[in-house]
Amino acid sequence: MAQDNQSWHNQQASGQGGTGVMDKVKDTISNSGVGEKVNNLANEAGNYMHREPVSMPRPEHREGPIARSIEQQTARIPSDAWLWAAVGSIGLSLALELSGKEKTANFVGHWAPTFLIFGLYNKMVKLQGSDGI
């Protein structure tokens, strides 16, 4: 029985067993136009994937006047100033730790991530604008 199945598969694969199942499937697809539709959908999907994203802020998501003025002022600060502030807080924290003021050193040491986050926000505002336009 297993040998009969194997010989049938071999015949189908070599094309000796009459019209194979795959030939029937290919004929059905080509006659129905499904293959062309699949190709068109694939091309449309490829074109969609290569488009640039469009970002249009909604009026209800716009920044208020206070936030906009703060962002305009902080955008004037060079981006590396935030990095140097973080490095400075780490150095000051180390100096305080070595002088025995552990609680103050811990407090000052926590400033570094805050300065780095401010730097990231500053960079985003410079690149995207306050409303991401």
Residue 8 lies in a domain: yes
Q: pLDDT of 44-55, one tens digit each?
A: 777 766 666 666
Same domain, yes or no, for 71 and 121? yes
**Average pLDDT of the residues in 67-86:** 82
Tabulate helix, strand, coil % of the chain (nearest 5): 75, 0, 25
Residue 56 lies in a domain: no
Instruction: Identify whether residues 28 and 75 lie together within a single domain.
Output: no
CB 93 within 8 A of CB 108: yes
123 with 67, same domain: the answer is yes
Q: What is the pLDDT of residue 53?
A: 61
Percent of the chain exceeding pLDDT 90 equals 26
- Co-location of 28 and 73 in the same domain: no
Q: How many domains does the chain have?
A: 2
Give the range of the structural domain holding residue 45, as residue numbers without chain letter. 2-49
> Are 41 and 12 part of one and the same domain?
yes
* 92 inside domain: yes
pLDDT tens profile 112-128: 999 999 888 888 877 77
Assess whether 78 and 120 both reside in one domain. Answer: yes
Note whether 41 and 72 are same-domain residues: no
**Percent of the chain scoring above 70 in pLDDT:** 63
Are 45 and 66 found together in one domain? Answer: no
Q: Is residue 44 domain-shared with residue 74, that is, in the same domain?
A: no
Domain co-membership, 69 together with 14 = no
Residue 37: inside a domain: yes
Q: Are 99 and 66 in contact (CB under 8 A)?
A: no
pTM for the full predicted model: 0.49
Asked whether residue 27 falls in the same domain as residue 72, the answer is no
